[in-house]
Amino acid sequence: MGEPPEYRRYREDVEVLRRIGAQLASAVPYVECLVPGELAATAVAAWERDEEAPIVEETCEQTRSRLRAGDLALLGLAVSRSGSSGDPVVVRLPVAQFAAAVEAWSESR
């Protein structure tokens, strides 16, 4: 059984969204944020963690969780590079990490 035709359209829609994202990211490449100190420290710890286990067959939810954990780690990298400390931590986030955090929050609502 072939793929329903709407999935081709969905992939085309995703490509348009990517192109829009490229334009938006070039317009606003960074967002300066205040991140509570405890959350910033947890993000840095995620960046410093070694994930050496091989990736096994995953459910969609497991894949989403692993990718979101990667987003947190990249946010932690931005925090560690900021040189800021205290509570809250001032961090200049790449727009992709800012968007990933907001999207994760939005998905949980």
Q: Averaged over 63-71, what is the pLDDT?
A: 92
Token code pair at residue 27: 């317009």
- Each residue's pLDDT tens digit, 99-109: 999 999 998 88
The predicted model scores a pTM of 0.81
Q: In whole angstroms, what is the distance from residue 81 CA to residue 101 CA?
A: 18
Question: Using an 8 Å Cβ cutoff, are 85 and 91 in contact?
Answer: no
Q: In whole angstroms, what is the distance from residue 44 CA to residue 52 CA?
A: 18
Q: Is 88 a residue whose pLDDT tops 80?
A: yes
- Percent of the chain topping pLDDT 90: 63
Question: Using an 8 Å Cβ cutoff, are 40 and 91 in contact?
Answer: yes
Q: Averaged over 2-8, what is the pLDDT?
A: 86
